[in-house]
């Protein structure tokens, strides 16, 4: 015991020196890390080498030394956005910058009153009902709050209706606006980010949380989409779109916002990252196959790799200053002006 106590101050000093070294060396190299470069002897370009210190910035994520990519969005182009998170934040940015953002139907968040479209299955269903590919017979829910459109999230202008006829009229009008928006858009920005959904016996994935009694009765079951299911949903949505509007380009982003909760019997943080990975893999497969008309913008990677302390108090949503950074990088990459 005497030996142990006599060694304790030495251990504390050693640990303190290590911590001080880590702190000051990190600070020094972050500030004076020099310019980023590739490794010539291995013929590695700058984008192939992970940057040190201050060189890891959001604009590094859009660096590609192998790609002769040219911006293609002009201020005269008709733009629309659908999904969640980024697709929601890009609207006020584009409008403020003077781009032609399509707004055929009243919606606070998007080009049309879709509400937030979280999963790839929901995206495909939007395309299906917009272009009359599928008739969703049991779309209307009757709940204690009134009549609800099960295919659209609560973020629509009127999430509850007192009369069923009013909701059916709203759905009919919305479908016309939705189809027209997709037909007029020249660039569509899509943000996906959720992989869990509630599915019924007909294979329809709800756009909002089903009533608790329907979950308990087994009418709706939890679905966690695989990589292949995400791929099939995204490709199915694009095929419907391109069959009716051949020249439209689609830019995909992945929401960095973690899941609020999970119904899987797993830790929500690890499950959230697993689900993001599944969606990202599917998107990258799509953009590789349809590289002339589909693109991926790495807003997800910008948040997790290149931003220090980007989170609000809830540890899920992004601070406005960081959102603006991401939007600037989007404009620098894709916009001609």
Q: 249-306, pLDDT tens digit by residue?
A: 999 999 999 999 999 999 999 999 999 999 999 999 999 999 999 999 999 999 999 9
- At 1 the pLDDT is 47
**Would you say residue 236 has pLDDT above 50?**
yes
276 Cβ partners below 8 Å, 6+ apart? 193, 195, 254, 255, 300
Per-residue pLDDT reduced to its tens digit, 13-39: 777 777 777 777 777 777 777 888 999
Higher pLDDT residue, 7 or 334?
334
Helix (H, G, I), strand (E, B) or coil at 224: strand
Q: How many CB atoms lie within 10 A of CB 8?
A: 9
- At 38 the pLDDT is 94
The residue-averaged pLDDT of 156-181 equals 97
Spatial contact of 54 and 75, defined as CB atoms under 8 Å apart: no
Per-residue pLDDT reduced to its tens digit, 193-208: 999 999 999 999 999 9
Name 143's bridge partners. Answer: 146
E strand map for the chain:
78-83, 100-101, 140-143, 146-149, 187-192, 196-199, 221-224, 249-254, 294-296
Helix (H, G, I), strand (E, B) or coil at 268: helix
Secondary structure letter of residue 205 according to DSSP: B
CATH number of 69-334: 3.40.50.1110
pTM attached to this predicted model: 0.91
User: Where in the chain are the domains?
Assistant: 69-334
- At 18 the pLDDT is 78
The owner of tokens 């950074």 is 325
- At 55 the pLDDT is 84
Q: Supply the mean pLDDT for the chain.
A: 92
Instruction: Find the range with the poorest average confidence among 62-66, 217-221, 327-331.
Output: 62-66
Spatial contact of 90 and 189, defined as CB atoms under 8 Å apart: yes
Find the distance separating the first CA and the last CA of the chain, reported in whole Å: 72
The residue-averaged pLDDT of 142-155 equals 94
């Amino acid at each position: 015991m005497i030996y142990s106590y006599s060694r304790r101050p030495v251990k504390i000093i050693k640990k303190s020196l290590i911590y001080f070294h880590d702190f000051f060396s990190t600070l020094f190299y972050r500030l004076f890390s020099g310019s980023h470069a590739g490794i010539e002897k291995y013929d590695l370009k700058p984008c192939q080498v992970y940057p040190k210190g201050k060189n890891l910035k959001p604009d590094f994520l859009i660096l590609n030394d192998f790609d002769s990519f040219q911006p293609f969005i002009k201020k005269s182009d008709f733009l629309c956005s659908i999904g969640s998170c980024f697709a929601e934040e890009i609207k006020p940015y584009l409008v403020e910058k003077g781009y032609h953002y399509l707004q055929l139907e009243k919606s606070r968040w998007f080009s049309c009153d879709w509400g937030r479209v979280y999963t790839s299955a929901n995206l495909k269903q939007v395309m299906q009902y917009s272009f009359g590919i599928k008739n969703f017979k049991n779309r209307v829910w009757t709940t204690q709050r009134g009549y609800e459109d099960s295919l659209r999230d609560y973020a629509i202008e009127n999430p509850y209706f007192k009369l069923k006829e009013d909701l059916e009229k709203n759905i009919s009008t919305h479908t016309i606006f939705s189809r027209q928006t997709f037909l007029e858009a020249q660039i569509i920005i899509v943000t996906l980010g959720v992989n869990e959904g509630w599915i019924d016996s007909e294979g329809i994935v709800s756009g909002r949380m089903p009533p608790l009694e329907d979950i308990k009765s087994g009418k709706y079951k939890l679905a966690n989409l695989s990589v292949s299911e995400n791929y099939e949903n995204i490709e199915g949505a694009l095929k419907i779109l391109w069959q009716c509007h051949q020249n439209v380009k689609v830019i995909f982003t992945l929401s960095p916002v973690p899941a609020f909760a999970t119904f899987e019997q797993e830790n929500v943080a690890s499950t959230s990252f697993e689900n993001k990975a599944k969606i990202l893999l599917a998107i990258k497969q799509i953009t590789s196959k349809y590289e002339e008309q589909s693109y991926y913008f790495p807003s997800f990677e910008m948040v997790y790799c290149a931003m220090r302390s980007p989170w609000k108090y809830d540890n899920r949503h992004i601070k406005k200053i960081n959102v603006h950074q991401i939007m600037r990088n989007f404009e620098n990459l894709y916009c001609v002006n």
